[in-house]
Amino acid sequence: MKASVAMLHQKTNSASPPQAHVVVVGASVSGCAAAILFARQGIPVTVIEKRHPSDFHKPICTHYIQPCSLTAWRELDLYEPLLEAGAVKNTIGIWTKWGWIPKAELGEVHALNMRRVTLDPLLRSKMINTPGVTYLEGTRCSALQRDASGAVTGVTVESATSGSFELPCTLLVGADGRESTVAELAGVPTEETPNQRFSCFTFFRNIPNESRTTSRMWMLEPYIAYQFPNDDGTTLIALMPTKDRVADFKADRAKCFREIVKSLPDAPDIDHAEQIADYLINTKNSMLLRRKLPHGLALVGDAFMTTDPLHGFGISWGIISASELVHRAAPGLLAGLRPDREIAAYHRERYAEVKGHFKIMADMALAKPMPAMQQMLFSAATRDPQTSAIVQRFLAGTSGTGELLSLRTLMRAFTTTVRHSFRRPPQMVSESSGA
Ligand SMILES: Cc1cc2nc3c(=O)[nH]c(=O)nc-3n(C[C@H](O)[C@H](O)[C@H](O)COP(=O)(O)OP(=O)(O)OC[C@H]3O[C@@H](n4cnc5c(N)ncnc54)[C@H](O)[C@@H]3O)c2cc1C
Protein backbone atom coordinates (compact mmCIF):
# COMPACT_ATOMS: atom_id res chain seq x y z
CA MET A 1 0.00 0.00 0.00
CA LYS A 2 1.23 3.48 -0.80
CA ALA A 3 0.87 6.12 1.88
CA SER A 4 1.36 9.85 1.76
CA VAL A 5 3.47 11.62 4.38
CA ALA A 6 0.30 13.25 5.68
CA MET A 7 -1.21 9.87 6.51
CA LEU A 8 1.53 9.07 9.00
CA HIS A 9 1.73 10.11 12.60
CA GLN A 10 3.68 13.32 12.33
CA LYS A 11 4.09 16.85 13.51
CA THR A 12 4.59 19.52 10.87
CA ASN A 13 5.04 23.16 11.67
CA SER A 14 6.48 24.21 8.35
CA ALA A 15 4.79 27.35 6.99
CA SER A 16 5.70 27.70 3.30
CA PRO A 17 7.95 24.94 1.98
CA PRO A 18 10.96 26.28 0.08
CA GLN A 19 12.30 24.24 -2.80
CA ALA A 20 14.96 22.33 -0.90
CA HIS A 21 13.98 19.53 1.45
CA VAL A 22 16.22 17.49 3.75
CA VAL A 23 15.47 13.94 4.84
CA VAL A 24 17.32 12.67 7.91
CA VAL A 25 17.37 8.93 8.61
CA GLY A 26 17.79 8.22 12.34
CA ALA A 27 16.53 10.19 15.34
CA SER A 28 19.27 9.53 17.88
CA VAL A 29 21.80 12.21 18.90
CA SER A 30 23.25 13.17 15.53
CA GLY A 31 19.97 12.93 13.57
CA CYS A 32 18.07 15.04 16.10
CA ALA A 33 20.85 17.65 16.16
CA ALA A 34 20.97 17.85 12.35
CA ALA A 35 17.16 18.14 12.07
CA ILE A 36 16.94 20.91 14.69
CA LEU A 37 19.70 22.94 13.07
CA PHE A 38 18.49 22.54 9.46
CA ALA A 39 14.94 23.46 10.45
CA ARG A 40 16.14 26.51 12.35
CA GLN A 41 17.78 27.71 9.16
CA GLY A 42 14.36 27.59 7.50
CA ILE A 43 14.96 24.33 5.60
CA PRO A 44 12.13 21.80 5.98
CA VAL A 45 13.28 18.45 7.35
CA THR A 46 11.62 15.06 7.51
CA VAL A 47 13.08 12.65 10.05
CA ILE A 48 12.62 8.91 9.55
CA GLU A 49 13.13 6.73 12.63
CA LYS A 50 12.43 3.02 12.80
CA ARG A 51 11.87 2.97 16.56
CA HIS A 52 8.82 4.16 18.49
CA PRO A 53 7.36 5.56 20.68
CA SER A 54 9.46 8.70 20.61
CA ASP A 55 10.89 8.45 24.15
CA PHE A 56 13.20 5.52 23.34
CA HIS A 57 16.91 5.62 24.18
CA LYS A 58 20.10 3.83 23.24
CA PRO A 59 20.91 1.49 26.13
CA ILE A 60 24.40 0.44 24.99
CA CYS A 61 26.31 3.61 25.75
CA THR A 62 28.31 4.90 28.71
CA HIS A 63 27.28 8.47 27.78
CA TYR A 64 30.30 10.55 28.73
CA ILE A 65 29.88 13.94 27.04
CA GLN A 66 33.20 15.56 26.21
CA PRO A 67 34.07 19.22 26.91
CA CYS A 68 34.66 19.74 23.17
CA SER A 69 30.92 19.52 22.54
CA LEU A 70 29.74 22.21 24.97
CA THR A 71 29.56 24.82 22.19
CA ALA A 72 27.40 22.48 20.11
CA TRP A 73 25.02 21.83 23.04
CA ARG A 74 24.74 25.59 23.53
CA GLU A 75 24.02 26.06 19.82
CA LEU A 76 21.18 23.56 20.19
CA ASP A 77 19.92 25.56 23.23
CA LEU A 78 20.30 22.39 25.25
CA TYR A 79 23.22 23.11 27.59
CA GLU A 80 21.04 24.63 30.34
CA PRO A 81 18.19 22.11 29.86
CA LEU A 82 20.71 19.27 30.26
CA LEU A 83 21.90 20.74 33.55
CA GLU A 84 18.31 21.31 34.69
CA ALA A 85 17.56 17.66 33.89
CA GLY A 86 20.44 16.59 36.13
CA ALA A 87 23.51 16.33 33.87
CA VAL A 88 26.58 16.16 36.11
CA LYS A 89 29.36 18.66 35.44
CA ASN A 90 32.65 16.89 35.99
CA THR A 91 36.30 16.57 35.08
CA ILE A 92 38.22 13.33 34.88
CA GLY A 93 41.22 11.92 36.74
CA ILE A 94 43.17 9.24 34.90
CA TRP A 95 45.10 6.47 36.62
CA THR A 96 48.23 5.23 34.88
CA LYS A 97 50.97 2.95 36.17
CA TRP A 98 52.93 6.12 37.01
CA GLY A 99 50.14 7.52 39.18
CA TRP A 100 47.12 9.78 38.59
CA ILE A 101 46.97 12.35 35.83
CA PRO A 102 45.09 14.88 37.95
CA LYS A 103 41.66 16.07 36.93
CA ALA A 104 41.35 19.62 35.64
CA GLU A 105 39.71 22.27 37.81
CA LEU A 106 35.94 22.25 37.39
CA GLY A 107 35.33 25.51 35.52
CA GLU A 108 33.91 26.74 32.24
CA VAL A 109 35.40 23.73 30.45
CA HIS A 110 34.05 20.47 31.80
CA ALA A 111 32.48 17.18 30.77
CA LEU A 112 28.84 16.24 31.31
CA ASN A 113 27.48 12.90 32.47
CA MET A 114 23.89 12.09 31.67
CA ARG A 115 22.27 8.71 31.10
CA ARG A 116 20.85 8.14 27.64
CA VAL A 117 17.48 7.35 29.24
CA THR A 118 17.35 11.03 30.22
CA LEU A 119 19.33 12.57 27.37
CA ASP A 120 17.70 10.94 24.33
CA PRO A 121 14.03 11.80 25.02
CA LEU A 122 15.04 15.37 25.92
CA LEU A 123 16.92 15.88 22.66
CA ARG A 124 14.23 14.13 20.60
CA SER A 125 11.44 16.18 22.12
CA LYS A 126 13.37 19.34 21.22
CA MET A 127 13.65 18.05 17.65
CA ILE A 128 9.96 17.08 17.35
CA ASN A 129 8.91 20.49 18.63
CA THR A 130 11.15 22.46 16.30
CA PRO A 131 9.07 24.27 13.67
CA GLY A 132 9.89 22.90 10.23
CA VAL A 133 10.52 19.31 11.39
CA THR A 134 8.25 16.45 10.33
CA TYR A 135 8.89 13.40 12.48
CA LEU A 136 7.90 9.99 11.11
CA GLU A 137 8.37 7.53 13.94
CA GLY A 138 8.15 3.79 13.36
CA THR A 139 9.28 4.18 9.74
CA ARG A 140 12.41 2.85 8.10
CA CYS A 141 14.39 3.75 5.04
CA SER A 142 14.49 0.69 2.77
CA ALA A 143 15.70 1.95 -0.63
CA LEU A 144 17.18 5.03 -2.30
CA GLN A 145 16.19 6.83 -5.46
CA ARG A 146 19.06 7.95 -7.69
CA ASP A 147 19.21 10.08 -10.83
CA ALA A 148 21.10 9.18 -14.03
CA SER A 149 24.37 10.52 -12.57
CA GLY A 150 24.00 8.32 -9.47
CA ALA A 151 23.12 11.22 -7.15
CA VAL A 152 20.65 10.39 -4.37
CA THR A 153 17.29 12.09 -4.96
CA GLY A 154 15.02 10.44 -2.43
CA VAL A 155 14.23 7.49 -0.18
CA THR A 156 11.67 4.76 0.04
CA VAL A 157 10.09 4.75 3.46
CA GLU A 158 8.40 1.69 4.98
CA SER A 159 5.89 2.00 7.77
CA ALA A 160 4.29 -0.98 9.54
CA THR A 161 1.00 0.89 9.77
CA SER A 162 0.91 2.85 6.50
CA GLY A 163 2.81 0.82 3.93
CA SER A 164 5.55 2.30 1.78
CA PHE A 165 6.02 5.56 -0.09
CA GLU A 166 8.73 7.53 -1.79
CA LEU A 167 10.03 10.74 -0.31
CA PRO A 168 12.06 12.96 -2.65
CA CYS A 169 14.75 15.17 -1.12
CA THR A 170 17.45 17.63 -2.05
CA LEU A 171 19.78 16.18 0.58
CA LEU A 172 19.63 12.85 2.38
CA VAL A 173 21.40 12.73 5.75
CA GLY A 174 22.38 9.31 7.06
CA ALA A 175 22.28 9.53 10.87
CA ASP A 176 21.46 5.87 11.22
CA GLY A 177 24.41 4.72 13.29
CA ARG A 178 27.31 2.31 12.86
CA GLU A 179 25.38 -0.20 10.72
CA SER A 180 24.07 2.64 8.48
CA THR A 181 21.49 1.19 6.08
CA VAL A 182 21.68 4.43 4.12
CA ALA A 183 25.42 4.02 3.52
CA GLU A 184 24.92 0.39 2.58
CA LEU A 185 22.10 1.19 0.13
CA ALA A 186 24.26 3.92 -1.40
CA GLY A 187 27.18 1.48 -1.80
CA VAL A 188 29.47 3.59 0.41
CA PRO A 189 32.57 1.55 1.34
CA THR A 190 33.28 1.08 5.05
CA GLU A 191 36.85 1.25 6.37
CA GLU A 192 36.99 -0.89 9.52
CA THR A 193 39.58 -1.06 12.31
CA PRO A 194 39.29 -4.02 14.69
CA ASN A 195 38.84 -3.47 18.42
CA GLN A 196 40.42 -5.98 20.77
CA ARG A 197 38.40 -4.83 23.76
CA PHE A 198 34.74 -5.23 24.68
CA SER A 199 32.58 -3.41 27.23
CA CYS A 200 30.73 -4.51 30.33
CA PHE A 201 28.98 -1.94 32.49
CA THR A 202 26.31 -1.39 35.12
CA PHE A 203 24.95 1.32 37.43
CA PHE A 204 25.14 1.95 41.18
CA ARG A 205 23.83 4.40 43.75
CA ASN A 206 25.39 5.54 47.00
CA ILE A 207 29.01 4.55 46.44
CA PRO A 208 30.72 5.52 49.71
CA ASN A 209 33.07 8.54 49.61
CA GLU A 210 32.45 9.19 45.93
CA SER A 211 33.13 12.67 44.54
CA ARG A 212 30.07 13.57 42.47
CA THR A 213 32.06 15.94 40.26
CA THR A 214 34.92 13.56 39.49
CA SER A 215 34.92 10.96 36.76
CA ARG A 216 37.73 8.43 36.89
CA MET A 217 39.44 6.34 34.26
CA TRP A 218 41.94 3.56 34.92
CA MET A 219 44.37 2.72 32.13
CA LEU A 220 45.33 -0.73 33.31
CA GLU A 221 47.04 -1.80 30.09
CA PRO A 222 45.39 -3.51 28.38
CA TYR A 223 42.13 -3.24 30.37
CA ILE A 224 40.35 0.06 30.87
CA ALA A 225 37.87 0.98 33.61
CA TYR A 226 35.63 4.00 34.25
CA GLN A 227 33.57 5.51 37.03
CA PHE A 228 31.14 8.21 35.92
CA PRO A 229 28.77 9.93 38.38
CA ASN A 230 25.52 10.51 36.47
CA ASP A 231 22.12 12.17 36.78
CA ASP A 232 19.64 11.15 39.47
CA GLY A 233 22.40 10.13 41.90
CA THR A 234 23.50 7.21 39.74
CA THR A 235 27.03 6.13 38.91
CA LEU A 236 28.07 4.14 35.89
CA ILE A 237 31.00 1.77 36.24
CA ALA A 238 32.35 0.34 33.01
CA LEU A 239 35.10 -2.13 32.17
CA MET A 240 36.75 -2.60 28.82
CA PRO A 241 38.71 -5.84 29.07
CA THR A 242 40.34 -7.62 26.13
CA LYS A 243 38.17 -9.94 24.08
CA ASP A 244 39.86 -13.11 25.37
CA ARG A 245 37.68 -12.55 28.47
CA VAL A 246 34.30 -12.40 26.67
CA ALA A 247 33.45 -16.04 27.40
CA ASP A 248 34.35 -15.67 31.12
CA PHE A 249 32.22 -12.55 31.41
CA LYS A 250 29.28 -14.13 29.61
CA ALA A 251 29.50 -17.16 31.93
CA ASP A 252 29.55 -15.08 35.14
CA ARG A 253 29.22 -11.34 34.64
CA ALA A 254 28.97 -10.43 38.32
CA LYS A 255 32.05 -12.40 39.37
CA CYS A 256 34.31 -11.14 36.57
CA PHE A 257 33.11 -7.55 36.84
CA ARG A 258 33.35 -7.30 40.61
CA GLU A 259 36.76 -8.98 40.78
CA ILE A 260 38.28 -6.44 38.41
CA VAL A 261 36.54 -3.40 39.91
CA LYS A 262 37.64 -4.34 43.42
CA SER A 263 41.24 -4.70 42.28
CA LEU A 264 41.42 -1.15 40.87
CA PRO A 265 43.79 1.27 42.62
CA ASP A 266 41.64 3.48 44.92
CA ALA A 267 38.73 1.24 43.89
CA PRO A 268 35.12 2.42 44.26
CA ASP A 269 33.57 0.56 47.19
CA ILE A 270 30.88 -1.30 45.27
CA ASP A 271 30.38 -3.80 48.11
CA HIS A 272 28.74 -1.00 50.11
CA ALA A 273 26.84 0.53 47.20
CA GLU A 274 23.47 -0.38 45.71
CA GLN A 275 23.63 -1.94 42.26
CA ILE A 276 20.58 -0.74 40.32
CA ALA A 277 20.95 -2.38 36.90
CA ASP A 278 22.03 -5.57 35.20
CA TYR A 279 25.43 -5.96 33.57
CA LEU A 280 25.37 -5.00 29.89
CA ILE A 281 27.96 -6.45 27.53
CA ASN A 282 28.85 -5.09 24.09
CA THR A 283 31.33 -6.78 21.79
CA LYS A 284 30.47 -4.98 18.55
CA ASN A 285 32.84 -2.07 18.75
CA SER A 286 35.17 -1.95 15.76
CA MET A 287 35.94 1.54 14.47
CA LEU A 288 34.35 2.54 11.16
CA LEU A 289 34.90 5.33 8.67
CA ARG A 290 32.89 6.09 5.51
CA ARG A 291 34.20 8.70 3.14
CA LYS A 292 33.36 7.97 -0.52
CA LEU A 293 29.81 9.22 -0.89
CA PRO A 294 27.56 9.87 -3.91
CA HIS A 295 26.16 13.35 -4.44
CA GLY A 296 23.00 14.11 -2.53
CA LEU A 297 24.09 12.15 0.54
CA ALA A 298 25.80 13.27 3.76
CA LEU A 299 26.64 11.19 6.82
CA VAL A 300 26.79 12.37 10.43
CA GLY A 301 27.61 10.73 13.76
CA ASP A 302 28.40 7.02 13.86
CA ALA A 303 27.24 6.52 10.27
CA PHE A 304 30.19 8.70 9.23
CA MET A 305 32.74 7.75 11.90
CA THR A 306 32.26 5.17 14.63
CA THR A 307 34.98 5.52 17.24
CA ASP A 308 36.14 3.21 20.02
CA PRO A 309 33.69 3.72 22.93
CA LEU A 310 36.74 3.75 25.21
CA HIS A 311 37.32 7.41 24.36
CA GLY A 312 33.74 8.62 24.88
CA PHE A 313 33.53 10.75 21.73
CA GLY A 314 30.54 9.31 19.83
CA ILE A 315 27.84 11.62 21.22
CA SER A 316 30.04 14.71 21.12
CA TRP A 317 31.33 14.12 17.61
CA GLY A 318 27.78 13.20 16.53
CA ILE A 319 26.36 16.61 17.38
CA ILE A 320 29.48 18.48 16.27
CA SER A 321 29.35 16.74 12.88
CA ALA A 322 25.65 17.65 12.56
CA SER A 323 26.41 21.29 13.32
CA GLU A 324 29.28 21.43 10.83
CA LEU A 325 27.19 19.82 8.09
CA VAL A 326 24.35 22.29 8.57
CA HIS A 327 26.67 25.30 8.53
CA ARG A 328 28.26 24.08 5.32
CA ALA A 329 25.13 22.98 3.46
CA ALA A 330 22.46 25.47 4.55
CA PRO A 331 23.32 28.45 2.30
CA GLY A 332 23.13 26.32 -0.86
CA LEU A 333 19.95 24.56 0.25
CA LEU A 334 18.32 27.90 1.04
CA ALA A 335 19.09 28.92 -2.53
CA GLY A 336 17.26 25.78 -3.66
CA LEU A 337 20.45 24.00 -4.79
CA ARG A 338 22.09 20.73 -3.88
CA PRO A 339 25.40 21.93 -2.42
CA ASP A 340 27.65 19.08 -3.58
CA ARG A 341 30.94 20.89 -3.09
CA GLU A 342 30.05 22.09 0.39
CA ILE A 343 28.95 18.61 1.43
CA ALA A 344 32.19 17.09 0.13
CA ALA A 345 34.11 19.81 2.00
CA TYR A 346 32.19 19.03 5.19
CA HIS A 347 33.20 15.34 5.06
CA ARG A 348 36.81 16.18 4.20
CA GLU A 349 37.23 18.89 6.82
CA ARG A 350 35.39 17.02 9.56
CA TYR A 351 37.70 14.04 9.12
CA ALA A 352 40.80 16.26 8.91
CA GLU A 353 39.82 17.92 12.19
CA VAL A 354 39.72 14.65 14.12
CA LYS A 355 42.13 12.52 12.10
CA GLY A 356 44.82 12.68 14.79
CA HIS A 357 42.43 11.47 17.46
CA PHE A 358 40.96 8.85 15.14
CA LYS A 359 44.35 7.33 14.34
CA ILE A 360 45.45 7.22 17.98
CA MET A 361 42.12 5.58 18.89
CA ALA A 362 42.58 3.00 16.12
CA ASP A 363 46.07 2.14 17.47
CA MET A 364 44.83 1.91 21.04
CA ALA A 365 41.92 -0.33 19.98
CA LEU A 366 44.49 -3.01 19.16
CA ALA A 367 45.24 -3.25 22.93
CA LYS A 368 48.97 -3.52 22.32
CA PRO A 369 51.54 -2.18 24.83
CA MET A 370 51.54 1.61 24.96
CA PRO A 371 53.99 3.10 22.44
CA ALA A 372 57.09 4.77 23.94
CA MET A 373 55.97 8.31 23.07
CA GLN A 374 52.59 7.84 24.73
CA GLN A 375 54.30 6.36 27.80
CA MET A 376 56.54 9.39 28.00
CA LEU A 377 53.60 11.82 27.68
CA PHE A 378 51.40 10.01 30.19
CA SER A 379 54.15 9.51 32.76
CA ALA A 380 55.16 13.19 32.43
CA ALA A 381 51.49 14.16 32.82
CA THR A 382 51.43 12.54 36.27
CA ARG A 383 54.37 14.70 37.33
CA ASP A 384 54.11 18.01 35.48
CA PRO A 385 50.94 20.16 35.60
CA GLN A 386 51.58 21.71 32.19
CA THR A 387 51.92 18.34 30.44
CA SER A 388 48.90 17.12 32.39
CA ALA A 389 46.83 20.05 31.07
CA ILE A 390 47.93 19.30 27.48
CA VAL A 391 47.09 15.59 27.78
CA GLN A 392 43.74 16.44 29.40
CA ARG A 393 42.88 18.89 26.60
CA PHE A 394 43.66 16.23 24.00
CA LEU A 395 41.56 13.60 25.77
CA ALA A 396 38.68 16.10 26.06
CA GLY A 397 38.88 16.86 22.34
CA THR A 398 39.47 20.57 22.95
CA SER A 399 42.89 20.35 21.28
CA GLY A 400 44.37 18.03 18.70
CA THR A 401 47.62 16.25 17.94
CA GLY A 402 49.08 19.63 16.91
CA GLU A 403 49.49 20.54 20.58
CA LEU A 404 49.95 17.02 21.99
CA LEU A 405 52.72 16.00 19.62
CA SER A 406 54.37 19.40 19.18
CA LEU A 407 58.13 19.54 19.66
CA ARG A 408 57.57 21.81 22.64
CA THR A 409 55.24 19.32 24.40
CA LEU A 410 57.50 16.36 23.62
CA MET A 411 60.63 18.20 24.82
CA ARG A 412 58.87 19.16 28.04
CA ALA A 413 57.70 15.58 28.59
CA PHE A 414 61.19 14.31 27.86
CA THR A 415 62.80 16.75 30.29
CA THR A 416 60.26 15.87 32.98
CA THR A 417 60.95 12.18 32.47
CA VAL A 418 64.75 12.59 32.59
CA ARG A 419 64.58 14.84 35.64
CA HIS A 420 62.32 12.37 37.36
CA SER A 421 64.58 9.40 36.66
CA PHE A 422 67.33 11.06 38.77
CA ARG A 423 64.98 11.35 41.72
CA ARG A 424 64.02 8.71 44.28
CA PRO A 425 61.89 5.75 43.10
CA PRO A 426 58.37 6.76 41.98
CA GLN A 427 55.70 7.15 44.66
CA MET A 428 52.15 6.45 43.64
CA VAL A 429 50.26 9.73 43.86
CA SER A 430 47.24 9.13 46.06
CA GLU A 431 43.76 9.67 44.73
CA SER A 432 43.02 12.57 47.03
CA SER A 433 45.75 14.64 45.42
CA GLY A 434 45.43 13.10 41.98
CA ALA A 435 41.86 12.52 40.99
C1 LIG B 1 29.56 0.33 24.76
C2 LIG B 1 29.47 1.74 24.21
C3 LIG B 1 29.77 2.80 25.04
C4 LIG B 1 29.73 4.10 24.54
N5 LIG B 1 30.03 5.13 25.38
C6 LIG B 1 30.04 6.39 24.92
C7 LIG B 1 30.39 7.48 25.76
O8 LIG B 1 30.72 7.32 26.94
N9 LIG B 1 30.34 8.74 25.24
C10 LIG B 1 30.01 8.96 23.93
O11 LIG B 1 30.02 10.11 23.50
N12 LIG B 1 29.68 7.95 23.11
C13 LIG B 1 29.69 6.68 23.57
N14 LIG B 1 29.34 5.66 22.74
C15 LIG B 1 29.01 5.94 21.35
C16 LIG B 1 27.58 6.49 21.20
O17 LIG B 1 26.67 5.61 21.76
C18 LIG B 1 27.31 6.70 19.72
O19 LIG B 1 28.43 7.32 19.13
C20 LIG B 1 26.10 7.58 19.46
O21 LIG B 1 24.91 7.05 19.97
C22 LIG B 1 25.96 7.77 17.95
O23 LIG B 1 24.82 8.50 17.70
P24 LIG B 1 24.16 8.50 16.24
O25 LIG B 1 23.00 9.41 16.36
O26 LIG B 1 25.19 8.81 15.24
O27 LIG B 1 23.72 6.98 15.98
P28 LIG B 1 22.83 5.99 16.85
O29 LIG B 1 22.76 6.44 18.26
O30 LIG B 1 23.34 4.62 16.60
O31 LIG B 1 21.37 6.13 16.24
C32 LIG B 1 21.00 5.69 14.97
C33 LIG B 1 19.48 5.84 14.84
O34 LIG B 1 19.09 5.48 13.53
C35 LIG B 1 17.94 4.64 13.58
N36 LIG B 1 17.96 3.83 12.35
C37 LIG B 1 18.88 2.92 11.97
N38 LIG B 1 18.61 2.41 10.76
C39 LIG B 1 17.45 3.00 10.36
C40 LIG B 1 16.65 2.88 9.19
N41 LIG B 1 16.96 2.07 8.17
N42 LIG B 1 15.54 3.65 9.10
C43 LIG B 1 15.18 4.48 10.11
N44 LIG B 1 15.91 4.61 11.23
C45 LIG B 1 17.02 3.90 11.37
C46 LIG B 1 18.14 3.86 14.86
O47 LIG B 1 16.92 3.31 15.35
C48 LIG B 1 18.74 4.91 15.79
O49 LIG B 1 17.74 5.64 16.47
C50 LIG B 1 29.37 4.34 23.20
C51 LIG B 1 29.06 3.27 22.37
C52 LIG B 1 29.11 1.98 22.86
C53 LIG B 1 28.78 0.84 21.94
Q: Are residues 132 and 45 in the same domain?
A: yes
* Average pLDDT, integer, range 144-149: 98
Terminal-residue alpha carbon distance, the chain: 60
Task: Please state, in angstroms and rounded to a whole number, the distance separating the CA atoms of residues 24 and 252.
Answer: 41
Going by C-alpha positions, the residue among 45, 331, 11 that lies closest to residue 171 is 45
Contact 304, 29 (CB under 8 A): no
Kindly list the protein residues whose Cβ atom lies closer than 6 A to any atom of ligand 1.
25-31, 48-51, 58, 60-64, 140-141, 175-177, 181, 199, 282, 285, 301-303, 309, 312-316, 318
Residue 318 domain-assigned? yes
* Nearest atom within ligand 1 for CA of residue 304: 26
Nearest CA to ligand 1 atom 28: 177
Helix (H) or strand (E) holding 166: strand 163-168
* Nearest atom within ligand 1 for CA of residue 65: 11
Nearest CA to ligand 1 atom 42: 140
- The CATH number for 126's domain is 3.50.50.60
pTM over 0.85: yes
- Report CA(417)–ligand 1 centroid distance (Å): 40
Could you read off the pLDDT of 383-422 as tens digits, one per residue?
A: 999 999 999 999 999 999 999 999 999 999 999 999 988 7
Could you read off the pLDDT of 117-143 as tens digits, one per residue?
A: 999 999 999 999 999 999 999 999 999
- The CATH number for 266's domain is 3.30.9.100
Overall domain count for the chain: 3
* Nearest atom within ligand 1 for CA of residue 30: 25
Which has the minimum average pLDDT: 6-10, 59-63, 168-172? 6-10
DSSP string covering 27-38, please?
-SHHHHHHHHHH
Q: Are residues 231 and 314 in the same domain?
A: no
Environment class of 382 (CB within 10 Å of its CB; exposed 0-12, middle 13-18, buried 19+): buried
Helix (H) or strand (E) holding 432: helix 431-434
Tell me the HSE value of 151 on the side-chain side, using a 13 A CA sphere.
13
Could you read off the pLDDT of 223-260 as tens digits, one per residue?
A: 999 999 999 999 999 999 999 999 999 999 999 999 99
Q: Are residues 254 and 353 in the same domain?
A: no
Helix (H) or strand (E) holding 364: helix 340-364
Tell me if residue 151 falls in helix, strand or coil.
Answer: coil
CA angle in degrees (0–180, nearest 5) for 107-111-112: 115
Domain region containing 314: 5-58+121-193+286-358
End residue of a domain, out of 284, 319, 341: 284
Nearest CA to ligand 1 atom 12: 314
Q: Are residues 168 and 205 in the same domain?
A: no
Q: Are residues 256 and 401 in the same domain?
A: no
Backbone angles phi, psi at 248, to 5 degrees: -60, -45
